[in-house]
Amino acid sequence: MAGADVNMPPQEKESFVSSCLEAASEIISLCILVLMLVFPLVYDEAYTNIMDVKYICYYLSVIAMVVFLLAASVIMTVLDIRKYGGVHTKEFLARLLPKNWKKTFLVTDIAVIVFCAAVWISTFHSEYFFESFWGNEGRYSGMFLMTLYVVAYLIISRFWKAKEWYLEAFLVTGMIMCVIGITDYFRMDVLNFRGPYTNPLESDIFTSTIGNINSFTAYVGMVMGFSGAVFLTEEKGWRMIWHYICLIVSFFAIIMGCSDNAYLSMAALFGLIPFAIFKERECVKRYLIMLASFFTVLLCIDRINQVYGNAVIGLDSLFRVIAGLGILPYVVIFFWVLVVLFWKYDKNCAAKGTECGNRFVMIWAAFAAVVLLAVGAVLFDANMGGHEERYEAARNYLVFSPQWGTNRGYIWGASLKLFREFSWMGKLFGHGPDTFGILTLNKIPHEMMHMTEQFYDSAHNEYIQYLVTIGIVGLSSYLVFLASAFWYMWKNWKKNPYIIGTFGAVLCYVFQATININLPIVAPMMWLLLSIGTGMCRRARREETVEVKVSEDLQVIIKS
Sequence letter at residue 382: A
Which of 189-193, 207-211, 226-230 comes out lowest in average pLDDT?
189-193
What's the rounded Cα separation, in Å, for the pair 434 and 143?
9
Buried b (16+ CB within 10 A) or exposed e, 57-74: bbbebbeebbebbeeeee
Query: Would you state the pLDDT for residue 523?
Result: 97
Cα angle: 470, vertex 475, 481; to 5 degrees: 130
The answer to whether the beta carbons of residues 265 and 508 sit under 8 Å apart is yes
Give the rounded distance of the alpha carbon of 460 from its chain centre: 17
Enumerate the β-bridge partners of residue 212. Answer: 206
Buried b (16+ CB within 10 A) or exposed e, 287-307: bbbbbbbbbbbbbebbebbee
**On the CB side of 251, how many CA atoms lie within 13 Å of its CA?**
21
Query: Would you state the pLDDT for residue 1?
Result: 42
What's the rounded Cα separation, in Å, for the pair 313 and 263?
18
Sequence letter at residue 124: F
What stretches of 234-260 show up as alpha helix (H) in DSSP? 237-256
What is the DSSP code (8-state) at residue 212? Answer: E
pTM given for the model: 0.92
What's the rounded Cα separation, in Å, for the pair 507 and 502?
8
Query: Would you state the pLDDT for residue 351?
Result: 81
Average pLDDT (86-100) is 76
Residue partners of 325: CB distance under 8 A and separation at least 6: none
pLDDT > 50? residue 519: yes
Average pLDDT (14-43) is 92
pLDDT > 60? residue 500: yes
The answer to whether the beta carbons of residues 374 and 277 sit under 8 Å apart is no
CA torsion sign, 121 to 124 to 125 to 131? positive
Query: Would you state the pLDDT for residue 13?
Result: 64
Backbone φ/ψ region at 189: left (φ over 0), alpha (ψ -120 to 50), beta:
left
Q: How far is CA 11 from CA 2, 7, 16, 159, in A?
A: 19, 12, 9, 21
Confidence of residue 11 (pLDDT cuts 50, 70, 90): low
pLDDT > 60? residue 545: no
pLDDT > 60? residue 298: yes
What's the rounded Cα separation, in Å, for the pair 530 and 483?
11
pLDDT digits (tens, 9 = 90+) for 350-375: 888 777 778 899 999 999 999 999 98
Query: Would you state the pLDDT for residue 79?
Result: 87
Confidence of residue 547 (pLDDT cuts 50, 70, 90): very low
pLDDT digits (tens, 9 = 90+) for 106-156: 999 999 999 999 999 999 999 999 999 999 999 999 999 999 999 999 999
Query: Would you state the pLDDT for residue 26?
Result: 95
The answer to whether the beta carbons of residues 390 and 382 sit under 8 Å apart is yes
Query: Closest by alpha carbon to 471, among 503, 506, 435?
Result: 435
The answer to whether the beta carbons of residues 265 and 512 sit under 8 Å apart is yes
What stretches of 278-358 show up as alpha helix (H) in DSSP? 281-307, 317-323, 328-352
More confident residue, 249 or 542: 249
Query: Closest by alpha carbon to 185, among 204, 167, 168, 200?
Result: 204
Which of 156-165, 396-405, 439-448 comes out lowest in average pLDDT?
396-405
Quote the mean pLDDT of the chain: 89
Q: Cβ of 169: how many Cβ atoms within 10 Å?
A: 17
Residue partners of 291: CB distance under 8 A and separation at least 6: 270, 335
Average pLDDT (504-512) is 97
DSSP string, 432-497: -TT-HHHHHHHHSHHHHHHHHSS--SS-SSHHHHHHHHHHHHHHHHHHHHHHHHHHHHHHHGGG-H
Taking the CA atoms of the chain, what radius of gyration do you get in angstroms? 26
Query: Would you state the pLDDT for residue 449?
Result: 92
Query: Closest by alpha carbon to 504, among 220, 168, 224, 174?
Result: 224
Query: Closest by alpha carbon to 145, among 469, 420, 429?
Result: 469
What's the rounded Cα separation, in Å, for the pair 361 and 140?
42
Confidence of residue 539 (pLDDT cuts 50, 70, 90): confident
Query: Would you state the pLDDT for residue 559?
Result: 55
Q: Which of 327-331, 372-376, 463-467 has the highest mean pLDDT?
A: 463-467
Confidence of residue 443 (pLDDT cuts 50, 70, 90): very high
Which of 12-21, 109-118, 266-275, 378-387 comes out lowest in average pLDDT?
12-21
More confident residue, 264 or 539: 264
Query: Closest by alpha carbon to 428, among 390, 377, 472?
Result: 472
pLDDT over 70 for what percent of the chain?
91
Name the 3-class secondary structure at 43.
coil
Residue ranges per domain, the chain?
A: 170-277+280-352
pLDDT > 60? residue 299: yes
What's the rounded Cα separation, in Å, for the pair 210 and 253?
13
Query: Would you state the pLDDT for residue 212?
Result: 93
Query: Would you state the pLDDT for residue 10?
Result: 61
Average pLDDT (52-80) is 95
pLDDT digits (tens, 9 = 90+) for 197-209: 556 666 788 999 9
